[in-house]
Structure 1
Amino acid sequence: MSKKKSPRQIAANAMSRLRRDSSLITGNRSPTHPLSRVELLAGGEFVGWDARIDAQIRLSALPVGELSPRCRQAVQAAIGDPVAKRLRRARAILFEESVSEATDPEVARECGRVDELLAFNLAALGCRHASAEICAAALDRWSNLLSTGMHGEAYLVLRTAVVWSGDAAFDRVDAPYHPEPNYARLSQLDLDPARMSEFAQAVSDSVAQLHATDDVLRGGAGIAAPQDGGLALDFPDEPGPPAPAVEPPEPQAGRTLVVVPSLGHLATPTKYAQERRDSPRAEFEKIAGRGLPLLPAPDPQAFVEEGSAAAPWLRPVFEVLAQDLVGAPYAWLRPTVLVSPPGTGKTATVRAVSKLLGLPLRLYSAAGASDGSFGGTSRQWGTGRASIPLQTILQEEVATVAIGIDEIEKSSLDRRNGSLADTLLPFLERENAKHIFDLYIETGVNLSPITYLATANGVAGIPEALRDRLRILEVPSPGIEHLPVVAANLLSEIRADRGLDAAWLPDLDGDELDLVGRHWRGRSLRPLRRLVETVLAGRDRLAPRH
C-alpha cells in the first residue's frame, strides 16, 4: 500500500503539474476567443497574443444597438482604433452604463463585465492604474484560493500579481506596444522558494509570539501579567528547521447545517394536506429548522487513487478536483464543467465523482431545457415546486448533495419563460447560495454546501456569465491501452442491467479483448459498448445447450 501523502506533498504536486501545463486553469495558450476574468487572473492569454485585437473582439460582442448613443459612439471608436486613450474612455462610459437605472438589466450586466475585463487590455497597453487594479484583484483571489486549499491555482494567481505589480510602477501608454505572449513573461518570473519559506516561517513565529503573549497576559503558566502593559517574547534570530507539514483537522463528527429555517410564515396545513403532503409547509416541515448532516470529505489522496484505479485516463481530472478536498470540513467541490467530445463518458465521470465523494446525486438534463424551473416555481400558478437542489435535499435529508447538469451547453437561451443559464447563476456562487430565496416555500434557504458538476461537448454554447462561474476541465478520452479497464467497467454495468453476477457473466478473456481491440481505437465509449455486447451475444449463441 502506498504511503499517504501529506497536504504539503499534494499541494507541491498540484503546483508542479500546473507549472508544466496550466491550460486547465488559464485556458489555451493561443485562444481563439477572449478568456474569462478567472483565466486572465491566472495568467491567460489575449486572442492573437495582442491586447488590441482582444479588446476589439470583446467590444464587438456588446449589444451595440441597445447602448445609449454616447456609449455606442465610445465603443465604436475604441473598436476602430483600440489605443489606450480610447479604451479608457470606452471603459469609463461602459461603467456608467452598467450602473444607470435607464439601462436594460441584461445590457447593464454585459457592460459591467466588459468594463471589468478591459482592465487587462489596458494594463497590457501600459496603463499603470489598470495594472494596479489587476494586481489587487489577483492578490484577493490568491487569498481566497489559499483559504480553500487550491495551492496550484493560487501559485499561478500570485505570479500574475507580482508581474502586474511591477507594471503598476510606471505609466507606459505613450511607449510603442509590442504584442507578445503573456506566458513568456510569467515563466521568467522566479518566485524564490527559500525567501518565501523564510517569510512564511516568520509569519508562523509571529503568530506563536502573539499566542504566547496572550497566555502571559492572562496569567498563563503561573506568570503574573506585567503592570506596564509592555511585553516582548523573542524567538531565535536564525531560522530553525522547516516546520513539519500540518495534517488537516479531522472533520467534526455530526456536523450539521440548517438548510430550511422555520416555516411559521406559511399557513398551517389541513389534516388532509398533512396526510398527503400537498402543501409547502406539510412537504418541508420534516427538515424545517432541523440541522441536516454535512457529509465528511474523503481523503484527497484516496479520492485520486480510487478514482484513477477505475479510470486511469481520468487521473488528471481527479487530481484537480482533489485540491478542493484538502482540509475541507465537508464534501464539496467547486462548480465544475467537464468538457470532452460526445460519448467519452462524461456523465459516467460525474457519477463516479459523486460516489467517491459519498454524495447523493441528482442528474438534471439541460438539453432542450427552455425555462427557469430548475430554480423552482411559485405557488401563484396552478402548481408549484421547490428548486431541484432543495428537492434533492428533502429527499436525501442531508445538506450535502451533488447536482449533475448534463449537456449544459444545449439548454435554450430563450428567456420568455426564464432560462436555465440565468437561473443557475446565484446557485453557483457560495455567498449568494447561502440565502437563495425559494419561490415555493417563500423563504431564504442555505444551499451553499451543494456540489455542481456539469457536462458539455464544448464551451461555445455556454453563456459567458455562466462560464465565468464554472471551473472548466477538459476530460481526457480513454485510449486503446485502457481497453482492459474500460471493458471491465462496461461488463460491470451490463451485469447490473441484467441482474447477473460475475459467475454468470465473466469479464472478456484475452481473445475477446483482441477481437474488440481490432475494431475500437479509443475515445468514444458508445461504439465500444456495442462491440462488447456483440461479443456477449456471440457467447450466448455458441454456449452449449443442455
Structure 2
Amino acid sequence: MTQPSLFGAAPSVRALLTGACLPYGNSAHHDIYNALAQDWPALLTGDEAALEASVGGSVQMAALLLQAWMDADAAMAAKGDRKAARTFQTQMYTFWTALGALLDERPGAELFADEGFGFEDPLDALRDRTTLLLSMLGESTALRLLQPMLWHYARLSRPAQARSDELFYAAIGCEMLQGDYGVRRLSESDLVDCVGQWREHGRSVLTTVLGQPAVKPPAPGPIQRLQEARRRVPVDGPSLRVLASVEHLPGSAKDGDGRQGGSTASTARGEYAPMAGRDLPLVVVPDLVRVRHRLVCEFPDAAGIIDAILRPLAGRRFAWLSPLLLRGAPGSGKSRLARRLGEELGLAVTVYSCAGVADSSFIGTSRQWSTGRACVPLQAIKRADAASVLIVLDELPRAGTRRDNGRLVDGVLALTERETARAFHDPYVECAVDLSAVSYVATANSTDCLDPALLSRFRVFDMPLPTLASLPVLAQGIAEELRRDRGLGAVWLPNLTPEELDMVAEHWRGGSVRVLQALVECALDGRQTGPAN
C-alpha cells in the first residue's frame, strides 16, 4: 500500500482498495475502532439510544456494533500481544458473520434504491471493510467474497474519480491470478497486501496487452532513497538491518545496488552495497518437535543436551542460540552436533577452525591492507543473505595466545556479548554493523586453558561419549551421510545388516565416533570385495 492517509482517520473502503494505508501502523483493530467511531459517534459518548436510532432502531444491530467496539478497544489495550491479536481476529470473524446475516435480511428494493441514488450505507461499508481486513489476515471465506467486491466497486466508480483505474487493475489481477497471492506482509503487521499484489499484476497485464508502456517514475533523490530504504521490509517474517549504509566509503556504488547476496566490485563499498540499507530476513524458529526428533535420532546419548539447547527457542520470533560450548573427548561428535544444530534450525553454518589461529582477523582487517576483509560473521551474513547465521568455533582453546597480531579469543569475547555485537565496528566497512542475531557454538576437548572471561560467556555442556546401545542408530546415521557424500540411494548403499552390526560391535564397544565411522565405512565397502577380504 502506497498512499498515506490522514493520521487517525479511517480511509474509505474504496481508498483502501486503491492503495491507501491503514493508519496507526497497519493495525486491523485500530482501523475497525476508528471506522466505528467515525460513523457512529454515539459509541464514544455511550449514548445507547442514539446508537439504536442511527441504525434504524435495530436493537440487535446496535448491540453488535457495541460489541465490536469493545473488542477493538480490548485489542488496542493489549498493545501488540500476539494472543490478543488472534483472539480479535476470531471476534472480527464472528462480528462479520452476524453483520452479514442482519444486512441480508433487508428488503431488496431498499438496496436498489440506495445504489441507484449513489448512497453508501455505512453498515455496508463496514461489512466490506471487515471483508477486506479478514482477507488480508488469510480468512478463506472472506477471500472468496473479495473478488466480487472488487468488481462491485469498479463498476460503481466514475471516470472522473481519482484512481478509478486502480480498482479495475485489482479486479482484473485477482481474476487472472484466480485469487492467489504471495505472503507480502505490511510493515509491522500480520496483514498481507493481497489487493496490492493483484493491482500490480492487473496493471502489468493491461499495460502489456494494450501496448502502453508503464510510466517510469523520476529518479529518487538521496532523501527519497533513504526514506525508501527505511520502508523496505522482507517478503515475510522478522528482519534486521545489519548494515545501514556504505556511502561513506570511497566509490560510486549505492546502497542496495547489485545482486542480493553477491557483490558489484572488489572494493569494500561495492562488495557490501547489495546488503546495505536492506532489512535482511531472520530465520524463523522451525518445528522444534521435529528438530528434536531428528537430532536425538542422530545423537541418542546427547538427548539431554539437545533438550537444554532447544528449550529456550520456544516462543522466539527467530532462531538464535545464546553462546554455548560443547566440551568432550575427541571423537565424541561435538563438532558434528554443532553443525547439525544449525542445519536443522535452518541457519547457514560457517565452521571456523580455531586451531593454530595466531591473529585477530576473525573480527576483520582494515581495507587499508591489500588483504583487508570484513569480520567472519559479516562475511557469513553476506553469503547467506540473512541476518541470522551460525558460527561454529571449532576447538576454541587451541587458538594461539600470542598478542603480536592480536588474539582470536579477544575478538570472540567482544562478539559474544550481544550489546557489543549490536553495534560492532567492523574495520573493513568502517562503520557499526548489527551482528546481534549471529549464534555461536564452540567446541573444546578441555576448557582448562580457556580464558575465564571468555568461558563465562558460554553455556557449557559436557558431551558424553557414545555407548554401545546407540550403535544401530549411529551406524544408520553414518550410512546416510555416506550416501549423501557419494550421491547414492538406499537401494545402492543400504544400512548395515544385523550380522554386519554384530561384526562392528566386536571392534567398537563405545567411544569415539570417528573409529565407528571408519568401521561402518569398512563394513559397507567390504560388500564389494566379498567375505574373503
TM-score of the pair, normalised by structure 2? 0.54
One-letter amino acid of the structure 1 residue matched with residue 249 of structure 2: L
- 2:250 alignment partner in structure 1: 267
Residue correspondence of structure 1 range 431-510 to structure 2 within 5 A = 431-510=419-498
Whether the aligned pair in 2 keeps the contact of 1:269 and 1:279 (CA below 8 Å) is no
Q: Which of 240, 243, 257 is residue 257 of structure 1 equivalent to? A: 240
1:281 matched to 2:269 = yes
Task: Report 1 or 2 for greater relative contact order, CA contacts < 8 Å, sequence distance ≥ 6.
Answer: 1
Whether the aligned pair in 1 keeps the contact of 2:247 and 2:253 (CA below 8 Å) is no
Q: What's the offset of the Cα at 1:310? A: 2.6
1:301 matched to 2:289 = yes
Q: What's the offset of the Cα at 1:222? A: 5.9
One-letter amino acid of the structure 2 residue matched with residue 258 of structure 1: R
How far, CA to CA, are the matches of 1:328 and 1:270 in structure 2?
A: 36
One-letter amino acid of the structure 1 residue matched with residue 383 of structure 2: Q
One-letter amino acid of the structure 2 residue matched with residue 268 of structure 1: G
Look up the SS of the partner of 2:274 in the other structure: coil
How far, CA to CA, are the matches of 2:333 and 2:399 in structure 1?
A: 20
One-letter amino acid of the structure 2 residue matched with residue 444 of structure 1: A
Q: Deviations over 1:261-287 (max 9, x none)?
A: 11111112489x998621001000000
- 2:335 alignment partner in structure 1: 347
Q: Percent identity?
A: 39
How far, CA to CA, are the matches of 1:523 and 1:442 in structure 2?
A: 48
One-letter amino acid of the structure 2 residue matched with residue 287 of structure 1: M
- 2:513 alignment partner in structure 1: 525
One-letter amino acid of the structure 2 residue matched with residue 432 of structure 1: T
One-letter amino acid of the structure 2 residue matched with residue 500 of structure 1: L
Does the C-alpha gap of structure 1 residues 247 and 322 become closer, same or farther in structure 2, counting only changes over 3 Å?
Answer: farther
Q: What's the offset of the Cα at 1:495? A: 1.8
- 2:174 alignment partner in structure 1: none
One-letter amino acid of the structure 1 residue matched with residue 319 of structure 2: A
Whether the aligned pair in 2 keeps the contact of 1:334 and 1:452 (CA below 8 Å) is yes
Does the C-alpha gap of structure 1 residues 338 and 220 become closer, same or farther in structure 2, counting only changes over 3 Å?
Answer: farther
- 2:415 alignment partner in structure 1: 427
Q: What's the offset of the Cα at 1:352? A: 1.2
Does the C-alpha gap of structure 1 residues 302 and 276 become closer, same or farther in structure 2, counting only changes over 3 Å?
Answer: closer
1:374 matched to 2:374 = no
Residue correspondence of structure 1 range 159-238 to structure 2 within 5 A = none
How far, CA to CA, are the matches of 1:284 and 1:297 in structure 2?
A: 27
Whether the aligned pair in 2 keeps the contact of 1:406 and 1:456 (CA below 8 Å) is yes
Whether the aligned pair in 2 keeps the contact of 1:248 and 1:326 (CA below 8 Å) is no
One-letter amino acid of the structure 2 residue matched with residue 478 of structure 1: P
Look up the SS of the partner of 2:352 in the other structure: strand
Q: Which of 315, 318, 329 is residue 303 of structure 2 equivalent to? A: 315
Residue correspondence of structure 1 range 391-410 to structure 2 within 5 A = 391-410=379-398
Whether the aligned pair in 2 keeps the contact of 1:406 and 1:454 (CA below 8 Å) is yes
Larger radius of gyration: 2
Whether the aligned pair in 1 keeps the contact of 2:253 and 2:269 (CA below 8 Å) is no
Q: What's the offset of the Cα at 1:498? A: 2.1
TM-score of the pair, normalised by structure 1? 0.53
Q: Deviations over 1:394-438 (max 9, x none)?
A: 111000100011000100111110001001112101111100000
Residue correspondence of structure 1 range 55-74 to structure 2 within 5 A = none
Look up the SS of the partner of 1:268 in the other structure: coil
One-letter amino acid of the structure 2 residue matched with residue 324 of structure 1: P
Whether the aligned pair in 1 keeps the contact of 2:476 and 2:495 (CA below 8 Å) is yes
Look up the SS of the partner of 1:363 in the other structure: strand
Whether the aligned pair in 2 keeps the contact of 1:303 and 1:318 (CA below 8 Å) is no
- 1:87 alignment partner in structure 2: none
1:540 matched to 2:528 = yes
Whether the aligned pair in 2 keeps the contact of 1:299 and 1:325 (CA below 8 Å) is no
Does the C-alpha gap of structure 1 residues 223 and 305 become closer, same or farther in structure 2, counting only changes over 3 Å?
Answer: farther
1:327 matched to 2:315 = yes
Look up the SS of the partner of 1:286 in the other structure: helix
Whether the aligned pair in 1 keeps the contact of 2:365 and 2:428 (CA below 8 Å) is yes
Look up the SS of the partner of 2:296 in the other structure: helix
Does the C-alpha gap of structure 1 residues 467 and 270 become closer, same or farther in structure 2, counting only changes over 3 Å?
Answer: closer
Q: Deviations over 1:13-41 (max 9, x none)?
A: xxxxxxxxxxxxxxxxxxxxxxxxxxxxx
- 2:279 alignment partner in structure 1: 291
Look up the SS of the partner of 2:526 in the other structure: helix
Does the C-alpha gap of structure 1 residues 319 and 521 become closer, same or farther in structure 2, counting only changes over 3 Å?
Answer: same
Q: What's the offset of the Cα at 1:306? A: 2.8
Whether the aligned pair in 2 keeps the contact of 1:298 and 1:325 (CA below 8 Å) is no
1:337 matched to 2:325 = yes
Q: What's the offset of the Cα at 1:322? A: 1.4
How many residue pairs match? The answer is: 305
Residue correspondence of structure 1 range 11-50 to structure 2 within 5 A = none
Does the C-alpha gap of structure 1 residues 461 and 285 become closer, same or farther in structure 2, counting only changes over 3 Å?
Answer: same
Look up the SS of the partner of 2:432 in the other structure: strand
Whether the aligned pair in 2 keeps the contact of 1:249 and 1:327 (CA below 8 Å) is no
Q: What's the offset of the Cα at 1:312? A: 1.6
